[in-house]
Amino acid sequence: MYAYQPIGIFDSGYGGLTVMREIVKVLPEYDYVYLGDNARTPYGNRSFETVYHYTWQCVQYLFSRHCHLVILACNTASAKALRTIQQRHLPVTFPERRVLGVIRPTTEIAQQFTRNGAVGILATTGTVQSASYVIEIRKFFPALRVYQQACPMWVPLVENNEHEGPGADYFVKKYLDQLFQQAADLDALILACTHYPLLIPKIKAYLPDGVQLISQGPLVAASLKDYLRRHPEIDRHCSKSGRREFLTTDSAALFARQASIFYGEPVEAQQISVEGL
């Protein structure tokens, strides 16, 4: 066992920092290493095979940095790669390691957000096409009605720092209108993409009264805390010296400049390569 075994947090780019930020609030004593695959982001419009291949490379890289537990803090990766990694790779190659996603912590409590029994999912095209949210919510709550809306322009708006500008209003209104055309009585919307919390002020401006907006960060953080309590055999492989590292597959200087928008405080980053994994 190594003295330093951080919890790995993976995202296609910066978005997972909105999840990490909530996790470190709830579990500050743990060590964390964040990996953003910025060189190949966005994942949202990529094929199943590509998202799976990229994600598995990054998970193996985090394993090589002694992570025993890795969180896929990316909905697209959770939707398209998690199941294959959990079922095909881990049992054979890394039976003691764990990889968890962000979809289950949100879907297993979906019913508590809605009075009308109608939930909306706002996500990338890839997550919508996978239907992961619909399938998972139906498993837990078969009577809930679930409506999905792909928002392909939202990640580029956030990545390009245009989420507070007037261009964002057009695309926020457009996708919300399309969602409410599917079901006017929706009263709970899940932000099923890690970038979307940055658009919350704009989204709220166009939401009908009484509609609840659900961000995943706090839900994932609470679920991880519960998981570590229930799994002491994993918890003892997670070191606790309060250290945070930030890795990116693209320029470290660029990452450091952008990351604070998502993480809420300045970070220092290091560039790494996952080629060959």
Judged by CB under 6 A, does residue 38 bind ligand DGL? no
- Tokens 């078969």: give the residue: 142
CA distance 236 to 187: 41
Judged by CB under 6 A, does residue 41 bind ligand DGL? yes
Judged by CB under 6 A, does residue 11 bind ligand DGL? yes
- Determine how many CB atoms are found less than 10 A away from the CB of residue 156: 14
Closest to 202 (Cα-Cα) out of 168, 153, 152? 168
Pick the stretch among 36-44, 108-116, 239-247, 255-263 that binds ligand DGL (CB under 6 A). Answer: 36-44
Given 6, 8, 15, 120, the residue binding ligand DGL (CB under 6 A): 15
Footprint (CB under 6 A) of ligand DGL, residues 54-93: 74-76
Residue nearest to ligand DGL (CB): 44
Judged by CB under 6 A, does residue 5 bind ligand DGL? no
Q: Which helix (H) or strand (E) holds 253?
A: helix 252-263
CA distance 29 to 7: 11
Active-site option among 58, 67, 193, 238? 193
We find the least distance from the C-beta atom of residue 192 to ligand DGL, in angstroms, to be: 7
Judged by CB under 6 A, does residue 44 bind ligand DGL? yes
Closest to 215 (Cα-Cα) out of 201, 186, 194, 244? 194
Q: Which helix (H) or strand (E) holds 92?
A: helix 90-93
We find the least distance from the C-beta atom of residue 74 to ligand DGL, in angstroms, to be: 4
Tokens for 75? 């909905």
Q: Is 74 a catalytic residue?
A: yes
Judged by CB under 6 A, does residue 13 bind ligand DGL? yes
CA distance 44 to 157: 13
CA distance 54 to 72: 12
CA distance 187 to 120: 8
Given 85, 193, 220, 221, the residue binding ligand DGL (CB under 6 A): 193
- Which residue's CB is nearer to ligand DGL, number 199 or number 238? 199
Q: Are 143 and 117 in contact (CB under 8 A)?
A: yes
Given 106, 124, 249, 258, the residue binding ligand DGL (CB under 6 A): 124
- Which residue's CB is nearer to ligand DGL, number 124 or number 239? 124
Q: Applying CB under 6 A, which residues contact ligand DGL? A: 11-13, 15, 41-44, 74-76, 124, 127, 155, 193-195
- Residue numbers annotated as active site: 74, 193
